[in-house]
C-alpha cells in the first residue's frame, strides 16, 4: 500500500470481537506517518458501507480515549480538593519575635494567630528570613508550622493612647475607658518612638488579642468626616422680604461677620474676640428657627462678598447640633459626642479657603446648639447631666485660647430658659435675644409679609393692596386696644 496510491483497497471488516486491520495499521507507530495519513484520506474520501464501519470504529476509539482523559483530570482535581480540605486553609498571624538559627534548628519566629494563640513557625526562603520583622503579618501553612510569606496588612484595630514607654519595644497603652495593657510595639512604630516623633499621649492602633501596637495615628489626620456638618442648601430666607419684625440679633451677628471678614484689624485693635455666642429664648413658634435661617443666609452673603464666589459654590460652614445626636444612653458617650462637636468646629475653623485672586482667608463657622436645655439643665439633680454640664462649661469658656481665637459663632436656642444652668447661661449668653409676643407695630409688619402677593376677592373695584390694607387694619384694631391702656400683645402660632 503506497501513500501515493489514490485508490486504497479497504480490507473486509473482521468480526466484532477482533481489531480491524486498518485500525491496527493506524495505531502502529512503526508505520510511517505519511502512509497513515494517506490511509485516513482514502477512508474519508470514499464513503461506502465498508469504509463507514471503519470510520465509526475510529470515532468511537477517539471518543473513548478523550473521555478517559477527562475522567482522569476530574479525579486529579477531586484528589487535590480533598487534600486541601484535609490540610485546612492557610492561616495568618503577626510576628512577635525573631529566633535566630542554631546548629540544630533553622530560623524561626514567634507569631500570634488572629485568635491570640501563640505559635512558633519556621522561616523559609532567604527573602523572608531577611525582611520579616516584629509586627509584620505573615501567612502560615494550615498547621501553622511554616512561614510561607507576607500576608496583607489589614490596618484595623482598637484605638488606644500611649501612657508610657517601657524599655525599647513595650508600651503601656490605655484602651476602652480606663483599661490598660502592655503591648509590643511593631518595628515601624518602635523606630518612630526612638526618633521622638511618637511618644506618651499619642494615639496608636492596637490589636489587643495579639498584644501588639501596630502603628501611630498621627494628630494631623484630625477629623476626616464632619458628623454634624450641615450639607443642605443655603436657606432662601431674606430678612427684608420674609421677616416682618426682624430681631436685633440678626443684624448684630451679620455685622460681626462682616467686620471680621472685611476689617479684622479693627476688632484686633480693641482686643475683641473672634468668637461670638448668643442665646435665643422664646416659646415654640416665636421665630427662633426663622431668625437662625436668616443669619445662615446673611453669613453666606457676606462670605460671597468677601471672596467673590457665588453663594451656591461656597463650602459648607454650618453645624446643626441636635440633642438626639449627642445624648446617649451609654455612660460617657454623651461627653465624647460633645467633645467631638467642638473638635469638628475648631478644625473646620482652622481650614483656609483660597479665593480666586489667590489669597487665603479663614471663613466663619456657625454652630447651632438646638434646645440647649436638654443638655444644660441646672446641676444637682442628676449626676449624668452634671458630667455633661462640666464638659460644656469647659469647652464653651470664652477665655479659652482655642475658642476665642477662632472665627466661631455659637447660637443656642431654648424654650425654657429658667431650667438652664446659670453657669451655662453666663458662658453662652454673650447676649440674650427674647422671642415672644408681638406688639402692635410688629404684628402689622409680620401680617403684611404673610399675606404679601396672596390673592384676595376684589370688591367694588378696589385693588389688591387696598383690600389687604383694609383687612390688616380691621384685624389689628380688633386684636389691639385702640387707646393703648393694656399691653396689647399677640402671639402668632
Sign of the alpha-carbon torsion through 5, 6, 12, 14:
positive
**Upper half-sphere CA count for residue 13 (Cβ side, 13 Å):** 14
Yes or no: say if 31 and 22 are a contact pair by the CB < 8 Å rule. no
C-alpha cell at 447: 401680617
Burial class (CB in 10 A: 0-12, 13-18, 19+), 475: middle
Does 315 have pLDDT greater than 70?
yes
Sign of the alpha-carbon torsion through 313, 318, 323, 329:
positive
Amino acid 172: pLDDT:
93
Select from 451, 226, 439, 262 the least CA-distant residue to 361: 262
CA 55 to chain centre: 70
Select from 67, 118, 76 the least CA-distant residue to 95: 118
Pairing between β-strand 318-321 and β-strand 212-217 as defined by DSSP bridges: unpaired
Does 302 have pLDDT greater than 90?
yes
C-alpha cell at 264: 479684622
Does 1 have pLDDT greater than 60?
no
Q: What is the pLDDT of residues 101-123, one digit of tens each?
A: 888 888 999 999 988 899 999 99
- For residues 134-162, average pLDDT: 87
Contacts of 181 (CB under 8 A, 6+ apart): 160, 172, 173, 175, 206, 208, 211
Q: What is the pLDDT of residues 157-175, one digit of tens each?
A: 899 989 999 988 899 999 8
Amino acid 110: pLDDT:
94
- For residues 438-463, average pLDDT: 79
Per-residue pLDDT band for 491 (boundaries 50, 70, 90) equals: low
C-alpha cell at 122: 519556621
- For residues 398-424, average pLDDT: 86
End-to-end CA distance of the chain: 115
Give the whole-angstrom CA distance, residue 374 versus residue 391. Answer: 14
Per-residue pLDDT band for 353 (boundaries 50, 70, 90) equals: very high
Range in 10-19, 192-201, 299-308 with the lowest mean pLDDT: 10-19
Tell me which residue has cell 457665588. 310
Range in 44-48, 189-193, 365-369 with the lowest mean pLDDT: 44-48
Select from 411, 398, 405 the least CA-distant residue to 296: 411
Give the whole-angstrom CA distance, residue 217 versus residue 173. Answer: 14
Does 197 have pLDDT greater than 80?
yes
The pTM of the whole model exceeds 0.85:
no
Give the whole-angstrom CA distance, residue 369 versus residue 324. Answer: 11
Amino acid 119: pLDDT:
93
Amino acid 442: pLDDT:
79
DSSP track, 25-74: HHH-TTS-HHHHHHHHHHHHHS--HHHHHHHHHHHHHHHHHHHHHHHHHH
Amino acid 484: pLDDT:
57
Does 6 have pLDDT greater than 70?
no
Does 411 have pLDDT greater than 80?
yes
How many of the other CB atoms lie within 10 Å of CB of 266?
A: 11
Q: What is the pLDDT of residues 226-250, one digit of tens each?
A: 889 999 999 999 888 888 888 889 9
Yes or no: say if 282 and 434 are a contact pair by the CB < 8 Å rule. yes
Range in 101-105, 222-226, 437-441 with the lowest mean pLDDT: 222-226
Whole-number Cα distances in Å, 20 to 30, 54, 163, 304: 17, 8, 90, 98
Give the whole-angstrom CA distance, residue 206 versus residue 222. Answer: 18
Amino acid 392: pLDDT:
86
Amino acid 3: pLDDT:
46
Yes or no: say if 448 and 315 are a contact pair by the CB < 8 Å rule. no
Yes or no: say if 355 and 314 are a contact pair by the CB < 8 Å rule. no
Give the whole-angstrom CA distance, residue 136 versus residue 186. Answer: 8
Q: What is the pLDDT of residues 245-268, one digit of tens each?
A: 888 899 999 999 999 999 999 988
Highest mean pLDDT among 8-22, 59-73, 78-92, 275-289: 275-289
Burial class (CB in 10 A: 0-12, 13-18, 19+), 310: exposed
Contacts of 358 (CB under 8 A, 6+ apart): none
Range in 65-69, 393-397, 417-421, 444-448 with the lowest mean pLDDT: 65-69
C-alpha cell at 75: 479525579
- For residues 196-206, average pLDDT: 89
- For residues 188-205, average pLDDT: 89
Does 493 have pLDDT greater than 50?
yes
User: Average per-residue pLDDT in the chain?
Assistant: 83
Range in 9-13, 122-126, 265-269 with the lowest mean pLDDT: 9-13
Q: What is the pLDDT of residues 479-489, one digit of tens each?
A: 887 665 556 56
Whole-number Cα distances in Å, 161 to 180, 202, 346, 377: 9, 6, 22, 32
Q: What is the pLDDT of residues 380-397, one digit of tens each?
A: 666 677 788 888 888 888
DSSP track, 238-300: -HHHH-SS--HHHHHHHHHHHHHHH-HHHHHHTT--S-EEEEEEE-TTSSHHHHHHHHHHHHH
pLDDT higher at 364 or 327: 364
Amino acid 492: pLDDT:
63
- For residues 95-100, average pLDDT: 92
**Upper half-sphere CA count for residue 127 (Cβ side, 13 Å):** 3
Mapping DSSP to helix (H, G, I), strand (E, B) and coil, where does residue 305 land?
helix
Whole-number Cα distances in Å, 202 to 112, 172, 213, 332, 450: 25, 12, 12, 21, 57
- For residues 39-51, average pLDDT: 76
Give the whole-angstrom CA distance, residue 122 versus residue 110. Answer: 9
Amino acid at each position: 500500500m503506497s501513500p501515493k496510491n489514490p485508490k486504497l483497497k479497504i480490507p473486509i471488516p473482521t468480526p466484532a470481537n477482533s481489531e480491524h486491520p486498518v485500525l491496527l495499521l493506524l495505531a502502529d507507530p512503526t508505520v510511517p506517518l505519511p502512509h497513515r495519513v494517506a490511509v485516513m484520506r482514502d477512508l474519508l474520501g470514499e464513503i461506502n458501507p465498508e469504509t463507514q464501519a471503519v470510520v465509526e470504529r475510529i470515532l468511537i476509539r477517539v471518543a473513548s480515549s478523550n473521555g478517559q482523559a477527562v475522567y482522569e483530570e476530574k479525579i486529579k482535581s477531586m484528589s487535590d480538593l480533598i487534600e486541601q480540605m484535609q490540610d485546612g486553609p492557610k492561616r495568618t498571624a503577626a510576628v512577635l519575635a525573631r529566633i535566630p538559627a542554631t546548629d540544630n534548628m533553622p530560623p524561626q519566629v514567634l507569631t500570634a494567630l488572629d485568635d491570640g494563640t501563640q505559635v512558633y513557625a519556621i522561616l523559609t526562603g532567604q527573602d523572608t528570613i531577611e525582611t520579616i520583622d516584629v509586627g509584620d503579618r505573615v501567612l502560615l501553612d494550615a498547621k501553622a508550622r511554616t512561614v510561607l510569606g507576607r500576608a496583607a496588612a489589614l490596618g484595623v484595630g482598637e484605638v488606644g493612647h500611649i501612657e508610657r514607654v517601657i524599655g525599647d519595644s513595650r508600651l503601656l497603652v490605655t484602651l476602652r475607658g480606663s483599661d490598660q495593657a502592655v503591648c509590643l510595639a511593631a518595628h515601624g512604630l518602635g523606630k518612630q518612638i526612638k526618633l521622638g516623633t511618637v511618644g506618651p499621649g499619642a494615639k496608636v492602633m492596637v490589636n489587643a488579642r495579639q498584644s501588639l501596637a501596630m502603628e501611630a495615628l498621627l494628630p494631623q489626620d484630625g477629623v476626616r468626616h464632619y458628623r454634624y456638618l450641615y450639607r443642605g442648601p443655603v436657606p432662601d430666607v431674606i430678612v427684608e422680604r420674609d421677616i416682618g419684625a426682624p430681631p436685633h440679633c440678626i443684624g448684630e451677628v451679620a455685622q460681626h461677620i462682616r467686620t471680621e471678614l472685611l476689617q479684622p484689624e479693627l476688632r484686633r485693635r480693641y482686643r475683641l474676640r473672634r468668637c461670638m455666642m448668643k442665646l435665643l429664648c422664646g416659646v415654640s413658634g416665636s421665630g427662633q428657627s426663622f431668625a437662625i435661617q436668616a443669619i445662615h443666609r446673611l453669613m453666606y452673603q457676606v462670605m460671597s462678598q468677601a471672596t467673590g464666589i457665588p453663594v451656591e459654590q461656597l463650602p459648607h460652614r454650618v453645624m446643626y447640633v441636635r440633642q438626639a445626636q449627642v445624648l446617649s444612653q451609654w455612660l460617657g458617650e454623651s461627653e465624647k459626642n460633645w467633645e467631638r462637636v467642638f473638635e469638628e468646629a475648631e478644625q473646620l475653623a482652622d481650614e483656609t479657603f483660597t479665593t480666586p485672586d489667590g489669597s487665603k482667608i479663614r471663613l466663619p463657622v456657625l454652630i447651632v446648639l438646638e434646645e440647649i436645655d436638654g443638655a444644660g439643665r441646672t446641676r444637682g439633680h442628676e449626676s449624668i447631666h452634671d458630667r455633661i454640664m462640666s464638659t460644656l462649661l469647659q469647652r464653651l469658656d470664652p477665655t479659652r485660647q482655642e475658642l476665642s481665637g477662632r472665627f466661631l459663632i455659637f447660637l443656642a436656642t431654648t424654650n425654657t430658659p429658667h431650667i438652664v444652668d446659670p453657669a451655662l447661661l453666663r458662658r453662652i449668653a454673650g447676649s440674650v435675644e427674647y422671642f415672644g409676643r408681638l406688639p402692635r407695630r410688629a404684628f402689622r409688619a409680620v401680617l403684611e409679609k404673610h399675606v404679601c402677593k396672596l390673592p384676595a376677592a376684589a370688591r367694588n373695584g378696589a385693588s389688591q393692596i387696598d383690600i389687604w390694607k383694609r383687612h390688616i387694619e380691621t384685624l389689628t384694631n380688633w386684636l389691639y386696644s385702640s387707646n393703648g391702656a393694656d399691653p396689647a400683645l399677640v402671639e402668632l402660632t
